[in-house]
Amino acid sequence: MTLHGQARHACLETCRGIGGCTRIGTFAYVVSTCTTHAFHQQLLIRHGNCDPVRVLDFPEPSVSPILCTGIGQARTGIVTSPLVGAFHRMGVSPDGRQVVFEVTDDFSYAAPNHLVPPGQEEGIFVVRDDGSGLRRLGPASRDPSFRLMPDASAPTGFRGSGATQFSFSPDGRAVVFTDLGPGPGADDAVQIFTLDVAGPTTGTRTQLTHLPAVPDRPVGTIGLFPGTSVPFFLPDGRIAFQSFGNLDGTNPEGNLVEFVMNRDGSDLRSVAPPVAVRGGRLVPIFGVTGAGVRRRADALSVPGIPVNPDAATTGDAISEVFFIDGKRVLQLTDFGRADTMTPNLTPDGHHVIFVASADPFGTNPSGTCQVFSIGTAGSGLRQLTHFAQPEYSKTGCNATGPPGCEIIVPGGVDPATGTLLFYSSCDPFGANRYGDQLFAIRADGTGLRQLTHARGVATEPDGSTSSENIGPVGISFAGPPPGSPPL
């Protein structure tokens, strides 16, 4: 039967969306396949086309079949893969030509010390975007890229905070990350390190801080947040990170604070949190928020009880998006919800992209997680995605299973292509009913594309359960990091 008009347009858009062809830079990702007899991981790189390059393909050690069910039902491979697998931190250089990734099975919940095959070293590696030139830069970090706590209500029996990533310097010559190193006393503590990935000093590892031990923090219902974590490079070459510690005497209450220092570790100082409203604090959703940058967007908690407390992961607090321009702080959203988060400035600095389960236009009655855009003056709110489902989602953007789906934005809009890449368990094309995928969409809400095709959770002919999930993920941005326009 021949389609016409809107029906034909919708059919074509669905075919294009499932096909996944779009303008985007370099991104790297891991596909993890779990069966009753095996756990198999592949590292893939895709660079501006529809054909990913396979870099590493690990064999299949034995795991418990119960684990596959839990992983599949969680639909969050970007979190569960580091918890059970061998791939951890990942990063892509600003020019998209190099991928740095970490391999270790020391922290695997499924098969510790049994995932990396004989003859394959663990450590931190660099490879070109075409899969050539694979080199080992040094040992893996001794600080896990995630945090984990038992939770009998979760499908896997535990909950974890997502893996942190490598952040590249603006010149692409080094990455920053956390590792264990000597602090003021005799014991090791989480410290900030850089690792050179290019030039004559390739492989040089430098400890920048000598911080005291900062305990991890249980926050809300999601699990543990690292006491010190998420180091990243700013556009001017300085390094920022987040910590609950009283590192310079300005944080005796142990709040989440952003710190900034020079590239060599000197001039460490806290960044005064924006005072938006009395009692407002930075929401501990770890990511590149632009610490120390004059113009940026942040998610801040505000007093009050959210209308959807079941979606809270950081306590029963309302989270709203704010635009910070020096000392000027402007609240952009007023949804009154617990899961409005991950704001990123667009490359032109005029709009903020974020996720929320709000329904400001009457087009999201199911409370599904959506991607939104709003101008930095507080006008022009737009809903960029229109994911739908029959049942109402109480957990919104933090849904780990149906009803509902989640969206994780690991970065911002690529300045070179105008495209936003995001990770989601939503199913806009009827091709992701049981899993999680990478998607891309233009900053104006057009051109939604599904870039990966993992099976998710599936029942095999013999009645067993298998799962195939995506994560961790690394993305390149041909310009300043998301949320960080030039000073």
Mean pLDDT, the chain, integer: 83
Give, in degrees to the nearest 5, the angle at Cα 206 between 55 and 208. 125
What is the number of other CB atoms lying within 10 angstroms of the CB of residue 255? Answer: 13
Give mean pLDDT, residues 374-378. 95
Instruction: Report the pLDDT value the prediction gives residue 315, as an integer from 0 to 100.
Output: 64
* Spatial distance between the Cα atoms of 229 and 146, rounded to a whole number of angstroms: 10
Q: What is the predicted pLDDT for the residue at 282?
A: 55
More confident residue, 153 or 402: 402
**Of the candidate ranges 76-90, 146-160, 366-380, 450-464, the one whose mean pLDDT is the lowest:** 146-160
| pLDDT band of 118, cuts 50, 70, 90 | confident
Sorted by sequence, the CB contacts under 8 Å of residue 156 that are 6+ apart come out as 67, 70, 71, 73, 74, 80, 83
What are 124-170's pLDDT values in tens digits? 999 999 999 999 999 999 999 988 766 655 555 556 666 678 999 99
pLDDT digits (tens, 9 = 90+) for 222-254: 457 888 998 999 888 999 998 989 988 888 888
pLDDT of 485: 31
Q: What is the pLDDT of residues 169-217, one digit of tens each?
A: 999 999 999 999 999 987 899 999 999 999 889 999 999 999 999 998 8
pTM attached to this predicted model: 0.88
17, 126, 282, 308, 320 from 355: Cα distances, Å:
20, 32, 16, 15, 11
Among 267, 322, 334, smallest CA distance to 295 is for: 322
More confident residue, 434 or 352: 352
Which residue did the predictor score with more confidence, 359 or 66?
Answer: 359
pLDDT single digits (tens) 262-321 = 999 999 998 876 654 555 555 554 444 444 467 888 888 888 889 998 887 656 788 999
CA distance linking residue 219 with residue 196, whole number of Å:
34
**Mean per-residue pLDDT for 419-447?**
91
- The per-residue pLDDT for 280 is 53
**Is the distance from CB of 413 to CB of 440 less than 8 angstroms?**
no
**Residue 172 has what pLDDT?**
94
Q: How far apart are CA 485 and CA 18, in angstroms?
A: 33
Q: Residue 120: its pLDDT value, please?
A: 83
CA distance 205 to 303: 43
Q: Is 467 exposed, middle or buried (0-12, 13-18, 19+ CB in 10 A)?
A: buried
pLDDT band at 2 (very low <50, low <70, confident <90, very high): low
- Quick one: which of 369, 307, 364, 371 has its CA closest to 336? 307
Rounded to 10°, the helix 65-74/77-84 angle is 150
Examine the pLDDT at 364 and tell me if it is beyond 90: yes
Q: 17 pLDDT exceeds 90?
A: no
> What is the token pair recorded at 23?
């303008």
Name the pLDDT band for 6 (thresholds 50, 70, 90).
low
Residue 281, pLDDT score:
56
Tell me which residue has tokens 């569960």: 80
What pLDDT does residue 16 have?
Answer: 61
